[in-house]
Amino acid sequence: MQEKFPKEFNEVTRPNIKGYPLYRRRRGTTVQVRGATMDNRYVVPYSPYLLLKYNAHINIEVCTSLLAVKYIYKYIYKGFDCASIAITSEGQPQLRYNEIDNYINGRYLSAPEAMWRLLEFKMHDRSHAVMKLPFHLPNQQRIRFEEGREEEALLAAQTGRTKLESWFHLNTNDPDAQQFLYTEIPLNYVYVKGNWQKRQRGGNKFVVRMYPASLKDEENYYLRLLLLHVRGATSYESVRTFNSITYSSFKEAAMARGLLESDEEWDRCLSEASIFQMPKQLRETFCYICCFCQPAKPLDLWTKFQVEMSLDYSRNRQNDDAVNMALHDIDEILQQHGLSCTKIGLPEPTGQAPQEECFNPILEAQLAEERIGMLNANQRDAFNGIVRAIDNAEEPERAFYVDGPGGSGKTFLYTTLLSFVRGRSQVALPFATTGIAATLLKGGRTAHSGFKLEVPLSDTSVSGLRPSSKDADVLRQASLILIDEITMLSKHGLRCIDRLLREVMSCKEKPFGGKVIVIRGDFRQTLPVVPRGSRAQILEC
């Protein structure tokens, strides 16, 4: 049983001067746990959100008093263990209080610590000093200044030299220093008042480290790489020079020196991925290689695999347009990581990005008119009911399930609805639980991709789509949402979709946020996949 439980019943939460607040605890249902009767007095404070998010036992308390804060931080201020000793004469009362004469604060030493001190072992020691060497691009050194004295700091930075610039100056005037790398200089020279001076002793007690550089800051990263391999450099141009050729960038100089790995590994990676990955996945793989692996020649990789990366756009577009659309997708992924096509040397995409599939309302209306006349009686009843819900926001029936055996025309009804809604310049979003089923619907996507569902789904799964994202705006604009092969989606997936649409539409009272949603599936053909699951487990799913 936890300390100070059970608590008292309270109708309202009240502050507690001596500790944590007294939370509201109403009289209610009691339960039997291992022969004991439990009620609200035994419930520890908790947060439902944190319990669901981390799936763990987490107690939550509100610190409202100074005593609670002192309890949390007491170990910081309490100091070391000590004992107070009072000195008095035997047989005589204690003398008048005098802090100096009567009391001595003696620190308590444990037996191991006392033995350690008696044997004169060192309690702490530093064997080596660590020196960090800064580096920077030309005219990009750090400047420290005080408010109101910015000009003085700039003038001092112009006349002064950093450790890197002092190394250049040292190599110019001292031929002996030219045999050392930048990281070897502190072992043989000491930095005094802005200059490197030859060290007399103690060089073996130093560990030299250079500050790290991000791969996204290419020139800084490759400058650091060159400083680890170039000896006796006298300037930034000297660092970029190799075999009497001065290169325009530090990256080109590093490539010339053979300091960068070959792109053969990434070539093999994309060659293998192009065999089984969809074009969208292949574009993502290419982007992640460019962001985190820094290939030497991204343009050559793009040129070799641009056909495979733009294959999904080639179905409805000319080759150049398909390549341009693929570049838009690549540029969007790169921008999420602070890069772009131009920064890594790829062609800059032109025109507008393919955020959503563009449909011609006139052609879609003509196609819908042709198909509506081909609907049978059952299909027309379903079509009229769905359209009535789209046109009338007050229609109570806004969620539909289309059932029918194979070959009964469910897909034909879906395509007719999509063309009809798009023919009126409205947004219709078709989804499917499998990639093959999604390709049968014009503009279709998988439900996991469109609604950002987890894989695999469980009873604690939630959608990863943010209400402030572009995908959420598209869901708000949609007049119709279709989900095909719903019978292969577990109940947790449908629950996540329902909860997501309620949050996106800010309407938690109506199913699916009040959106017109049509789901279709055939329980006679497909069921959720439960690996090695029994009949009961499949039905439960």
Q: Are 249 and 138 in contact (CB under 8 A)?
A: no
413 lies in some domain = yes
Provide the mean pLDDT of the chain. 81
Q: Are 322 and 354 in contact (CB under 8 A)?
A: no
Q: Is 393 found in the same domain as 307?
A: no
Q: Is 13 found in the same domain as 109?
A: yes
Q: Is 503 found in the same domain as 366?
A: yes
**Percent of the chain with pLDDT strictly greater than 70:** 88
Phi, psi of 269 (to 5 degrees): -60, -50
Compute the average pLDDT of residues 335-347. Answer: 85
Residue 237 CB contacts under 8 Å (≥ 6 apart), including other chains: 246
Q: Are 220 and 213 in contact (CB under 8 A)?
A: yes
Q: Is 84 found in the same domain as 44?
A: yes
Q: Which of 503, 449, 514 has the alpha carbon at shortest distance from 479? A: 514
Q: Are 476 and 392 in contact (CB under 8 A)?
A: no
pLDDT at 475 over 60: yes
534 lies in some domain = no
On the question of a cis peptide bond just before residue 430, with omega within 30 degrees of 0, the verdict is no
Distance, CA of 495 to CA of 93 (rounded, Å) = 81
Compute the average pLDDT of residues 103-124. Answer: 77
Least confident of 3-12, 186-195, 357-366, 442-451: 357-366
348 lies in some domain = no
Phi, psi of 320 (to 5 degrees): -65, -40
221-273 pLDDT tens trace: 889 989 999 998 999 999 999 988 999 888 888 888 888 777 788 888 999 98
What DSSP character marks residue 40? G
Q: Is 380 found in the same domain as 466?
A: yes
pLDDT at 103 over 60: no
Q: Is 433 found in the same domain as 308?
A: no
Distance, CA of 439 to CA of 431 (rounded, Å) = 10
**What type of residue sits at position 465?**
L
pLDDT at 83 over 70: no
Domain of residue 74: give its range.
1-88+100-123
SS3 assignment for 376-420: CHHHHHHHHHHHHHHHCCCCCCCEEEECCCCCCCHHHHHHHHHHH
**What type of residue sits at position 391?**
D
Strands 427-432 and 445-446: parallel
What pLDDT was estimated at residue 305? 92
> Which of 444-448, 493-497, 529-533 shows the highest mean pLDDT?
493-497
Q: Which of 221, 256, 291 is the last residue of a domain?
A: 256
Q: Are 153 and 143 in contact (CB under 8 A)?
A: yes
On the question of a cis peptide bond just before residue 6, with omega within 30 degrees of 0, the verdict is yes
CATH number of the domain enclosing 516: 3.40.50
Q: Are 223 and 160 in contact (CB under 8 A)?
A: no
Least confident of 167-176, 270-279, 334-343: 334-343
pLDDT at 95 over 60: no
CB atoms within 10 A of CB 344: 20
Q: Is 408 found in the same domain as 476?
A: yes
Q: Is 181 found in the same domain as 81?
A: no
Q: Which of 344, 327, 215, 242 has the alpha carbon at shortest distance from 279? A: 327
**What type of residue sits at position 357?**
E
pLDDT at 19 over 70: no
∠ CA(283), CA(289), CA(294), 5° rounding? 140
Q: Is 515 found in the same domain as 394?
A: yes
Q: Is 160 found in the same domain as 178?
A: yes
Q: Any bridge partners for residue 429, and if so which?
A: 481
343 lies in some domain = no
Q: Which of 229, 256, 283 is the last residue of a domain?
A: 256
What pLDDT was estimated at residue 1? 46
Q: Is 394 found in the same domain as 514?
A: yes
Judged by DSSP in three states, 163 sits in helix
Which position has the higher pLDDT, 288 or 72?
288
Distance, CA of 474 to CA of 467 (rounded, Å) = 11
Which position has the higher pLDDT, 417 or 316?
417
Q: Which of 375, 356, 304 has the alpha carbon at shortest distance from 477? A: 356
113 lies in some domain = yes
What pLDDT was estimated at residue 97? 57
pLDDT at 384 over 70: yes
What pLDDT was estimated at residue 285? 92
82 lies in some domain = yes
**Number of domains making up the chain:** 4
Q: Is 507 found in the same domain as 375?
A: yes
pLDDT at 102 over 70: no
pTM summary value: 0.43
Query: 163-176 burial, b if ≥16 CB within 10 A, otherwise e?
Result: bbbbbbbbbeeeee
Task: Break the chain down into helix, strand, coil percent, rounded to 5.
Answer: 45, 10, 45
H or E element in which residue 480 lies:
strand 478-484
Residue with tokens 């009535």: 388
What pLDDT was estimated at residue 302? 92
∠ CA(488), CA(447), CA(498), 5° rounding? 90
Predicted confidence band of residue 106 (pLDDT cuts 50, 70, 90): low
CB atoms within 10 A of CB 280: 15
Token couple for 462 = 């939630």
pLDDT at 167 over 60: yes
529 lies in some domain = no
